[in-house]
Amino acid sequence: MSHASPVLELAIFQVKEDHLAQVPALRAGLRETLKAFPGLIDYRGYCPINDDRIFVDLALWSCFENAQAVAQAFNDGDPRFADYMAAIESLSFMSHFSPEPC
C-alpha cells in the first residue's frame, strides 16, 4: 500500500538508567543515521519533564515505504543503530500514522 502523504513515526521507550546522560549524544548520532535513509523530512526527540526515563521520538517520512524500511533496519539489528538500541531498556509503543483526510 502506497501512501502519497507524509507518514509520522512515533516511538515511546524507556532508557536504561546508566545511559540517561548519553541520550543527547545518542540522538545526535541517530539523527545522522536517519538522514542517510531516503525520505526523512524531520526528526525530533522529546525528553521527560518528570524524573522518569520515558522518551519519545517522532520522525516524519516522505512515505510509508521509506518509514517502514528504516523501522525494518532497526528491528533487524542494523549496526548503525547499535548504540541507540543499547540504551533502550524497553519499547512501549512504535507505529506509523498518516494524516487524517480533510
Return the domain boundaries, the chain. Answer: 12-97
Q: What is the mean pLDDT of the chain?
A: 95
Band (pLDDT 50/70/90 cuts) for residue 59 is very high
In this prediction, residues 35-46 reach a mean pLDDT of: 98
| Distance in angstroms (rounded) separating the CA atoms of residues 97 and 26 | 25
pLDDT score of 1? 47
pTM of full prediction above 0.85: yes
Q: Which of these, 37, 7, 16, lies nearest to 84 by C-alpha position?
A: 16
Asked if pLDDT for residue 49 goes beyond 90, the answer is: yes
pLDDT > 70 in the chain, percent? 95
The top-level CATH class assigned to 12-97 is alpha beta
